């Protein structure tokens, strides 16, 4: 994957990686993933992101948390 000059992930790479991480968490935890705090997510994704730049790790934790919150809202709407 192409990298920016400062060797951080591109915006597209961040979003694609966040999608994969969120899917992995959902597959492993099911709906329980919706109650995870951002700190929980930081801990759970650490093995997959430890090699990345600090800013990328921080961005990924927020992106994954946001995706899971959106998923919770969608499932709640579908359950209505």
3-state secondary structure the chain: CCCCCCCCCCHHHHHHHHHHHHHHHHHHHHHHHHHCCHHHHHHHHHHHHCCCCHHHHHHHHHHHHHHHHHHHHHHHHHHC
Length of the chain: 80
Average pLDDT over residues 51-65: 97
What is the pTM (predicted TM-score) of this model? 0.86
pLDDT, residue 58, reads 97
pLDDT single digits (tens) 13-46: 999 999 999 999 999 999 999 999 999 999 999 9
pLDDT, residue 71, reads 93
Average pLDDT over residues 37-59: 97
pLDDT, residue 80, reads 83
């Amino acid at each position: 994957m192409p990298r920016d000059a400062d060797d951080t992930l591109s915006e597209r790479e961040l979003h694609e990686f966040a999608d994969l991480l969120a899917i992995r968490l959902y597959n492993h935890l099911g709906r329980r993933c919706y109650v995870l705090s951002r700190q929980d997510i930081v801990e759970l994704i650490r093995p997959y992101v430890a090699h990345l730049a600090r800013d990328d790790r921080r961005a990924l934790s927020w992106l994954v948390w946001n995706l899971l919150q959106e998923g919770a809202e969608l499932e709640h709407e579908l359950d209505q």
